[in-house]
Amino acid sequence: MKGFCEKAVASKCLSESPSDTSNTSQPSVCPEAGYVDSKSSRNSSWSTFFGSAFSIFDAHCESSACPRKALHSRPNAWTTAVRKVVTGGSMRRIQERVLGTGRTGISNPTSDIWLLGVCYKISQDESSGDEVPGLPAFEQDFSSRIIITYRKGFEAIDSNYTSDVGWGCMLRSSQMLVAQALLFHHLGRSWRKTSYKPCEPKYADILHLFGDSNASPFSIHNLIQAGKAYDLAAGSWVGPYATCRSWESLVRSKREAADLVERVFPIALYIVSGDEDGERGGAPVLCIEDARKCCSEFSRGQDEWTPILLLVPLVLGLEKVNPRYIPLLRATFSFPQSLGILGGKPGASTYLIGVQDDEAFYLDPHDVQPVCSISTDNLDSDTSSYHCNVIRRIPLDSLDPSLAIGFYCRDKDDFDDFCSRASKLADDSSGAPLFTVAQTHSTPKPVGNSGDSTEGGIVEGNNPFSVIPMGDGDGSAGEDEWQLL
């Protein structure tokens, strides 16, 4: 869970380590209409209580070496009851009752929906009331996305934790995003889940990668191990920036294993972060030259360009997302390369995969399910726990400002198209872009569309991408909204 503000994480990675105690609440993913600030404060108090209690309970009462168990051989009825609440469906009911019932379904029967780069025309025939094909197509696409939730009963992490209930939602959200990237890479964006058995071997192989054991390369076990340099630990909440860097470490460790990365993760990974000098705030910079080097290193020099996963961790405000960024966030879902957003309410991470008007659709990792093992040796395995038919939504203006955006580019042409779209989005941002695009880190002036001289100086003739000056449109610095990542 995002139990601390990402600004603290980012600052810790770059300078001194500030306190991690801010933003530790666990409000609901989707509050009811009429939500006000006083309710937010009250919910934060309840969230902190329940989140802390659940984490402590898991840490000490699920351990096989729990002192209380050593002293009492007979199970304690109260402990058993609490365990059922924490790891069963009761936790969802408690969350909804204390923190607010989540919003589900489609709120507007006429507005278009964007789901990971695909637009669905949602409208209603007033004469017959029949749904047009857009809605069922959207629902099928939504339910085909891979969802990874809390699990219980997996092999212990650090000898204590056999469930990630109460602390693993950000890690689960990140697993979902990476799983979609692999799904797009191997099976294509148009792939849809069917009820036919046996399931496709490549689909089963993708699910196996995210199993809950050390044997699965991208399990929560291995992700925590890879993220220890960023203070990832079982039982602790974590933010988007540390999660992105942990994936970078995990993928690198698999790449260093002989010939293993080609099988499990055939995609280069590039974290779009802040200015490398660490001195100046402002939007992160996607450096084209760095992306090219990342692909070349991934292919061990055999190819100049490979499929690439871009992760962009951001902090878009202090306590909530600055309203000027909301249209930009909404626009990213229209990119064909979109992989959605790791985000949610403070202390409750979700995986945002679509948008309609001012609300985002998301997959919720907070449902608790028994551990599930999928293998290509058994293609008749039940994979229903990796998909969800419940369409949940959240207002974009209620998102935690710490989030991360993902994009998947299949090849160089796809990457160039992404950069063109990202540059145009930055051009339309009135001086407050989500991130900018530059050919190299040393590009000192805005880059134009040709090799002609500009007022800022000479630019490269083959670079169609623009660098947006930092700051607001009136020339004032816009660094008050940013924490360098």
> Which residues are the active-site residues?
169, 364, 366
Cβ(307)–Cβ(413) below 8 Å:
no
Secondary structure of 216-264 in the HEC alphabet? Answer: CCCCHHHHHHHCHHHCCCCCCCCCHHHHHHHHHHHHHHHHHCCCCHHHH
Strands 457-458 and 338-345: unpaired
What's the DSSP call for residue 417?
Answer: H
- Angstrom CA distances, 416 to 39, 67, 463, stand at 45, 58, 10
- Angstrom CA distances, 343 to 110, 218, 316, 395, stand at 26, 20, 12, 12
Structure tokens at 462: 């083959």
Residue in 374, 429, 410 with CA at minimum distance from that of residue 181: 410
Amino acid at 38: S
Residue 209 neighbours by CB under 8 Å, 6+ apart: 179, 182, 216, 217, 218, 264
For residue 251, report the phi and psi dihedrals to the nearest 5 degrees. -65, -40
Cβ(439)–Cβ(465) below 8 Å:
yes
Residue in 307, 480, 308 with CA at minimum distance from that of residue 401: 480
Residue in 9, 99, 87, 6 with CA at minimum distance from that of residue 54: 87
For residue 215, report the phi and psi dihedrals to the nearest 5 degrees. -75, -20
Amino acid at 16: E
Measured distance CA(225)–CA(395) in Å, rounded: 34
Nearest 5 degrees, angle CA 385-CA 224-CA 406? 65
Burial class (CB in 10 A: 0-12, 13-18, 19+), 301: exposed
Residue in 351, 324, 345, 361 with CA at minimum distance from that of residue 40: 345
Measured distance CA(158)–CA(177) in Å, rounded: 25
Gyration radius of the chain's alpha carbons: 23
For residue 391, report the phi and psi dihedrals to the nearest 5 degrees. -90, 105
Strands 368-370 and 150-157: parallel
Name the residue with tokens 């050919």: 439
